[in-house]
A and B are shown apart, each in its own frame.
Chain A
Amino acid sequence: MNELVRAIPYLGSRYPKSTRWILIALIAVAPLVTALFGNTWVRILDFALLYVMLAIGLNLVVGFAGLLDLGYIAFYAVGAYTWAFLASPHFGVHWPFWIVLPLGAAFAAFAGILLGFPVLRLRGDYLAIVTLGFGEIVRIFMNNLNYPVNITNGPQGINSLDPLRIFGWDLSRNIRIGDDFVINSLWLYYYAFLLFVIASVVLIQRLQVSRIGRAWAAIRDDELAAKAVGIDVRNMKLMAFAMGATFGGVAGGLFGAFQGFVSPESFSLMESIAVLTMVVFGGMGNLAGVIVGALALSILPEVMRSVAIPMQQALFGSVLLDPEVMRMLLLALAMIFMMLLRPAGLLPPHSRYSKPSLVLDKRGTEASE
């Protein structure tokens, strides 16, 4: 939270306390504000939060441990399809969220370990390609496991997924208060997702400033030296994959519940790359950075969609660049320009893996970088 606050230009460093409260207030009332422009925007916000979760999870693998995973979306798929199998009419199983979400996370973690084992010794480029292959293999299986036995329903996907039901509240139903006031289900989902995101941030922070976080950073910075100080590199890498996958799995389950259907289309290579772009753009390894990156690159395309379509209509009479294309263009350019101009990403990469204030003798100084 503090890093996020400090990152806000000008205000963040001058008035940290008030900026923090403003930020909290903004986050709390975001749905109300965006709903002024139409409920579609709240929906976009909800998806943005899911992307934030994905970016946080991928950041663990890529940013903390330095393992370039191009197939991350496979874990999202595992989580989503777990929800589809266990909370929908497809197999007639309707288990509650507090069973299905953890199961989805567990399956995703298992997939992470499965992926991790063979790639342990691979160096950067090769690791990237093999993980890409993994992501594609998962997608191909999702797409084709409808024959001879129908498991995933193939390219059509699975419909009518159960929505998120917490403590008896069905989040897909609007809530009526009195005669006039309706709380849209999209808002309910926003707050639910927000809780999950906050929980993720807390957990990741704990991992970051810990023995494990330092081990990951060590492996990332110099694997040979990490081994030389006694770090079990193999286990740490597996743990990175598994933990990263877990976040993807939970996000996947939430996605399934929210959207109501899943199909292999949502889990293409392009989505993996989109999440990677968010991480890279925002600042690899920097938690606040990837959150900003995820928000920016999931909301911006939608803003462009609503602005650019009518603009093109007005100027050219027809739509030259449809929203899908614009999104791809934005992501591609974001990635390339960030790498060329500022490879570390938007937010400065000053991640901390320790709490120096724990030390009694507080003479440690901050050197100017």
Chain B
Amino acid sequence: MITLLDARAISKHFGGLQALSDVSLTIRKGEIYGLIGPNGAGKTTLFNVLTGTYEPDGGEFVFAGAILPSGKPHTVVKRGIARTFQNIRLFRELTALENVMAGHHSRTHAGLFGILAQTKKVREEERVVTERAYELLKYVGIERFANVVSRNLSYGDQRRLEIARALATEPQMLALDEPAAGMNHTETNQLRGLMETIRHDGVTVLLIEHNVKLVMGLCDRVAVLDFGKIIAEDVPAAVQCNSDVINAYLGTGHRTHA
């Protein structure tokens, strides 16, 4: 089992609020790894630090053996980590196909002059990108909406589109922020199937989720974040019985929330 991502003592504060304290975790290649915790625990913040939207105040990420540069989102993508957003951020005026094609940007090379001159190389690349994008739409099951403007898609389809777009960046690791939010039972099962297929095809998955059943059934290992600190990192069965985790979710008495 090779380690793909190693988070080492990540810290982040906003003004007086310590969002992440000394967060360390390890994700192995080929896993589906869950990140859970009460609201406000810092899960999305960890994502944002990982993908370069925020800079950490301390600590570092080691990905595929090399230190990940901080604060540079598009470099992180180039290195092989793709993410989705909690509240779905698609390119609303573009069609589903175009959204996924946009995802291919960092892996393609058509440059200004090539495009203006429409060289053979550029035309071929365009054709390849279009085909690959369509294949990805098929992969997540929404190919019949290829030419529909993305803001007109249903919520569930938009979520799947966002995953397809993230896959277009050819990542080694996919970081999904609450992909099952707002989904019903059937949709959640379809999502689960999709994620297992993704894992089967060689992409490691990091997942923030509130749907405990989904997490426990799907993830190989789970980390629990509470008030910016990791309080458990283990297989789901062990985490479920962990008393710290139970306290974090159910409470021991008075809690003041920052």
List the interface of chain A (C-beta within 8 A of B): 203, 206-207, 209-212, 214-215, 217-218, 220-222, 224-233, 239, 243, 285, 349, 351-356, 358-361, 363-367, 369
Contacts and interface: CB of A to CB of B under 8 A. Distances in A.
Nearest to B123: A358
Interface of B: 51-53, 73-74, 77-78, 82-83, 85, 89-95, 97-98, 101-108, 110, 112, 115-116, 118, 122, 125-127, 129-131, 133-134, 143-149, 152, 165-166, 168-169
A354 B115 contact: no
Contact of A214 (B105, B116, B127): B105
Given A229-B168, A230-B106, A366-B148, 12 more contacts: A209-B126, A214-B101, A214-B102, A214-B105, A224-B53, A228-B73, A228-B82, A229-B102, A349-B93, A354-B98, A359-B130, A367-B147
Contacts of A364: 97, 134, 143-147
- Interface SS of chain B: helix, strand, loop or mixed? helix
Given A224-B53, A354-B130, A207 B93 contact: no
B146 to A, nearest CB: 4
B94 A214 contact: yes
Contacts of B149: 367, 369
A362 to B, nearest CB: 10
Contact of B82 (A209, A229, A363, A367): A229
Contact of A361 (B73, B78, B94, B134): B134
B115 A217 contact: no
B134 to A, nearest CB: 5
B105 A363 contact: no
A201 to B, nearest CB: 13
A239 B112 contact: yes
Contact of A210 (B82, B97, B110): B110
A356 B146 contact: yes
Nearest to B153: A367
A220 B85 CA distance: 18
Nearest to B108: A211
Contacts of B105: 211, 214-215, 218, 229-231
Contacts of B73: 227-228, 230
A217 B116 CA distance: 18
Contacts of B94: 214, 217-218, 221, 353
Interface centre among A221, A239, A355, by most chain B C-beta atoms within 10 angstroms, is A221
A212 to B, nearest CB: 6
Contacts of A363: 143-144, 146
Nearest to A213: B115
A207 B102 contact: no
B166 A229 contact: yes
18 contacts: A207-B116, A217-B98, A218-B105, A221-B91, A222-B89, A226-B91, A227-B53, A228-B73, A231-B102, A285-B93, A352-B98, A354-B98, A358-B126, A358-B131, A359-B131, A360-B131, A366-B148, A367-B149
Contacts of A354: 95, 97-98, 101, 130, 133
Contact of A228 (B77, B95, B148): B77
Contacts of A228: 51, 53, 73, 77, 82-83, 85, 89
Pairs A-B, 6 closest by C-beta atoms: A230-B106, A230-B77, A364-B146, A225-B89, A227-B73, A221-B91
Nearest to A217: B94
Contacts of A243: 112
B52 to A, nearest CB: 8
B133 to A, nearest CB: 8
